[in-house]
Structure 1
């Protein structure tokens, strides 16, 4: 299941499906696909990165194109040119040459779905770019890591088509602009490919679904901020249902170096007392049309956030 998150008054992101496979970076269960970023932007490819015997393999052509290099294929021989660098490698062989100098490969280049996969470290050796493996976010960072501001990455649109989802008194917490004393009029729809983005000075690296060993399902946000004890709240939107607030489960928060993981419940007992929903425990991520992030600022990049989960 692929999902999206909305902002500006709505922020949109993609949430991956829950899987009973534990990530090495967290005590909870979460299944996250590896993503490649060139200069802090995700790149599109027909083939996802994958891990083989502890080595991360990435699709070569899309990275080469994003770095402004040229790639030519003749038979099994691949030639890459960038500036004064000439790189050659042969599919199936565990070596390459950079300006005539032989460079060993941990794994041979191979072809999958018509695309060539190579060890990610080869990009650094071949094209002179810094490559960093982010095990918490499962990101391969290539080049600089200057994450753009939300307002620079996503264009705001009119909020009117989304107002039908904002029902109940708690909607005012999201819709009301404390600075202008008026209702917000714009929203930025953030797609999975738009992550990571900086919202009001805080970097949101990614958002996923996670489940505990006891079966509770949470949204999990990965950020560079260690928010105070109250944490960051989210809210859930459904047609014909009241807006449902979700506070962060602060006791579950995890700190991994400069990265903080925040957890917010999907189905919560609070819905029974606050919204008079008797079958609150039946709520599933598939029932939710939009998920939002409740921020406490009215700056350009930190208007109310939410996401399309269809």
Structure 2
């Protein structure tokens, strides 16, 4: 089948162009001198690139404006001043000493005036503004990138629940030859390095039988990722399997469907919505229908009983007590404690904005912020605090200052491990739990996500602001970082900004659906095991029942832990924010508009299994 139509009309122009440009980079060979491109598009200058002391200098206005910065030249002080958002760069002409947000930096080569043009160092300017720079010495070409693309390709056999990574050549070769129960998925995670936004574009194809007829389907989605939640658009083309002719085109919003990598579930839902006037339809002036009565879900054969309650609380970072049905969550004022047995609520006001926490024994350790996370908030400008709350008395028992900008915290018997959310390459520190005294530190990327292994002898971490994202494990003993194991792949597997470790400590489950070993052996640690048939934004483990549960959008998926095969699926009324398991009960926190109300609320669902 052809599958060659360009589904640009739903708004995919930006990512389709950028994706194709970056994945098939032209090797631009200069006839003379050095050439420059920005995201694959040539940059031309009225004054050619010059090289001084091994550094490329280019006209200031062109490079700053290409990177969305405003620039002016103070003729009295002879200083170039560039601004973008909260970033300020000052470059005195003829000096190697510059300022970035009042931070003094010495660069390799000074700005200078050549032929009446003010030239500035290209690499320093580009990287200060968040771009990546690469020089191809053979082609004499400088690549400036303000986006980073992480591609991955899968072959899926949905009948056997098999997912296999393939390369682009295999993906392209098989794209027109999928059959029923087979699916090809191409996924591009795209990071806007300057705007600090993330996008995902997917291309999927399969064959499905509808109303007794077999058709080929090609689906493209384009979404912006915000806290791992995709909001965007989709397009589906339907082909006659014999002639290859297009028989239908469907367009809609990602929010209309419970998107699943398995098109066997997604496409029928999209077709049903199109038939109801959802996708492909014009907005209606008719009043909205009354909300349906809330579901009870007790008719599901794998659920023995169901209950739910609506709460006025806000759920952000949320933990479940390891042995009791008590939820701890953070809001704008501090800590909220919700007893799930009687739905009672207690509050603990904290002196500073709280972001993340970890529970060990009877203490909650909560990070508190003194400023915003920023790549340009350097070590000397960083600070923060740790609050310690006794969960038995709900008293703020102590607080201590730390000299990094805390992004996350995990705890063991005697120590806290806190990593920074600012300063690009920064520190993870081990601290004495009682005094906050620094015990040890090692390098880590800002805003990495850390998870303590159940054995309490190593911490897993995953980068969030790099492309490709990567795992690493830090081995710890008595508060010291004794060793580390690096991610064995580089761009081989797509990683989402969410993961957790199974309660038995055997596996790392990533929100992309990827499952990896968690071992103490550096040869096998973090190696790929398999890929689930669905992506997810939350996961819970019920190993006493040999099950685990994932959630995405409004859908809970139940898996057999022995085989990683999907057993059941449940769709709730609201967007699922958190998932917990305890004593054969699944707790699901959703954000939804309850029946009879126009205001969205958080709802806690209790499913006894």
TM-score range, shorter chain: 0.3 to 0.5
- State the structure with more CA Rg: 2
Q: Normalising by structure 1, report the TM-score.
A: 0.35
The structure with more strand, counted as a fraction of residues: 2
Greater relative CO, 1 or 2 (CA 8 Å, sep 6+): 1
Q: Normalising by structure 2, report the TM-score.
A: 0.18
